[in-house]
Amino acid sequence: MRPCVFLDRDDTLIFNRTLPPPADPPAGWKPGDLYDPARVELMPGALEACRSLKDRGFALVIVTNQGCVARGSATIEQVEAVNARVRELLVGDAGEALIDGVYFVPYHPLGSVPEYTKEHPWRKPQPGMLLSAARDLGLDLAGSWLIGDMPRDCEAGVNPGLRAGRC
């Protein structure tokens, strides 16, 4: 088992809430709903940080709430396309992928798309995404870290056993 750095996606790895609104936003859109991979832009230092962490032997896993699907402003396919673009941008010096996995949850209890309008154990601050990644990828949660921009990100790390000082 190897340690991991779990990474929130929006406003941690890529710009999100500060992006200007799209020219023709879909119904249900709110600032922070990113559905167009052409708008993906890495935050300053994100690539260098990921390269440094990977060089130190950490697995890198993105864990991200994507309630935009529940609100109807993005589809699962659009979220996956944005995630694919993030992965394309986060590569090592030799072009190797830095990200070992991407986990996202499309649910939100206040959504408008019935099949996605609910709470879910993967939705941060719940630990479901981290637990699934640990099981799928053979990760050592006790030796892992979590980096995010919201308190719920840290809670999602502490809930499955990451030390609070590492979140």
- The DSSP secondary-structure symbol of 102 reads E
8 is a catalytic site residue: yes
Q: Is the peptide bond before 125 cis (omega within 30 degrees of 0)?
A: yes
Distance CA 42, CA 27 (A): 26
Catalytic annotation present for 10: yes
- Cα distance between residue 140 and residue 149, in whole Å: 23
Indicate which residue of 8, 33, 100, 153 is catalytic. Answer: 8
Catalytic entry in 10, 33, 100, 153: 10
* Bridge pairing between strands 4-7 and 101-105: unpaired
Backbone angles phi, psi at 66, to 5 degrees: -130, 65
Query: Which strand (E) or helix (H) includes residue 80?
Result: helix 76-89
Residues serving a catalytic function are 8, 10
